[in-house]
Amino acid sequence: MSAPAIEVRGLTKSFGALHVAQLIDLSLARGARAALIGPNGAGKTTFVNLLTGVLVADAGAISLDGARVDRLSPAARVRRGLVRTHQINTLLRETSARENVALAIAERDGCAWRMLAYRRVWAACLEEADARLADLGFGASADDAAGSLPYGLQRLLEIAIAISLKPRVLLLDEPAAGVPSGEAHAIHTAIDRLPKETAVLMIEHDMDMVFRFAQEIVVLVQGRVLMRGAPAEIAANAEVRTVYLGRSRP
């Protein structure tokens, strides 16, 4: 037996009369590949913020591998394995790409409190960071300050950092948004090669990407789950087509 990687029950949040999340249920098994779609203002970002703890839900439960996390701070949830990437880059811009990744590794291993381990521990973090970046095809850019990287590489670095945290559950927030098509290939490859055991929820507008990636799609409209199902079911559903797909897929 094993509990779902993440289980959400009855997640609810209102800002005054505005119900941004209404009794949302979601369950992802280990290794799941799911996508969350919905029109603008459907509450996708709110949902992500509730999961990561940036917003506190009015009601509902969030469990990782069967353990409740909804009372934990955002950073503590990350340490439990709930990791997200950001739509807008939030990299340490003055720091090199490899050190951006190495910092995540240091936090993951809990060695970021080590003050007097001068080179050894940090060198180990850097070494793993190099391996991770080489995997993703970073090449010589690993030494460049994150802020000076081309946009596509910044997004790739964002993914590299997330993977380095060895998440149980990974929330990918529009991973390829704004990336020029010439640089998008590397990001698609990185997404295809995400660790098998990680449950991934992609929040995405690009339907081609969603249908390529997801085994299950959840449609969110006005803070509610309108429908969930396999990509084929979602594509065939008339209601979904009206509220959402109709606009992007004539």
Partner 1 sequence: MIARAGNWAMRAAPWLAAIAVNWIAPDYMSLAASVLTMGLFALSLDLALGHAGIVTLGHGAFYGVGAYAAGIFAIHVWADPLAGLAAATLVAGLVGAVTGALILDTSGLTLMMLTLAIASMIAEFANSARDLTGGDDGLTGIRPSPVLGLFRFDLWGHTAYLYTLAVVFVWTMIAWRILGSPFGHSLDGVRQNAARMRAIGAPVRMRLIAAYALSAAMAGTAGALGAQATKTVSLASLGVLTSGTVLMVAVLGGMRRRWGAYLGALVYVVGQNFAAEIDPFRWMLVIGLMMIAVVMFFENGLAGLVDLLDRRARPSTGGGK
Binding footprint of partner 1 on the chain (CB under 8 A) = 74-76, 78-79, 83-84, 86, 90-95, 99, 102-104, 106-108, 111-119, 121-122, 125, 161, 165
Burial (0-12, 13-18, 19+ Cβ within 10 Å), 130? middle
Residue 156's nearest CA partner among 165, 146, 145 is: 146
| Closest separation in Å from C-beta 91 to partner 1 | 7
Angle between helices 151-164 and 120-135 (to 10 degrees): 120
Residue closer to partner 1 by CB (options 19, 86) is 86
| Closest separation in Å from C-beta 116 to partner 1 | 6
Residue closer to partner 1 by CB (options 103, 191) is 103
Residue closer to partner 1 by CB (options 126, 225) is 126
Residue closer to partner 1 by CB (options 194, 218) is 194
Residue closer to partner 1 by CB (options 25, 65) is 65
| Closest separation in Å from C-beta 79 to partner 1 | 4
Strands 199-203 and 67-68: unpaired
Inter-CA distances, 142 with 26, 31, 157, 194, 238, Å: 37, 29, 9, 20, 47
| Closest separation in Å from C-beta 48 to partner 1 | 12
| Closest separation in Å from C-beta 224 to partner 1 | 28
What gap in Å lies between CA 125 and CA 44, rounded to an integer? Answer: 34
Residue closer to partner 1 by CB (options 94, 208) is 94
Residue closer to partner 1 by CB (options 154, 237) is 154
Strands 224-229 and 216-221: antiparallel
* The two three-digit tokens of residue 143, written as one number: 């030494």
* The two three-digit tokens of residue 102, written as one number: 């190495």
| Closest separation in Å from C-beta 20 to partner 1 | 21
Across the beta sheet with 59-64, what order do the strands follow? 18-28, 6-15, 59-64, 67-68
Radius of gyration of the chain (CA): 19
| Closest separation in Å from C-beta 237 to partner 1 | 34
What gap in Å lies between CA 24 and CA 220, rounded to an integer? Answer: 9
Strands 169-173 and 82-84: parallel
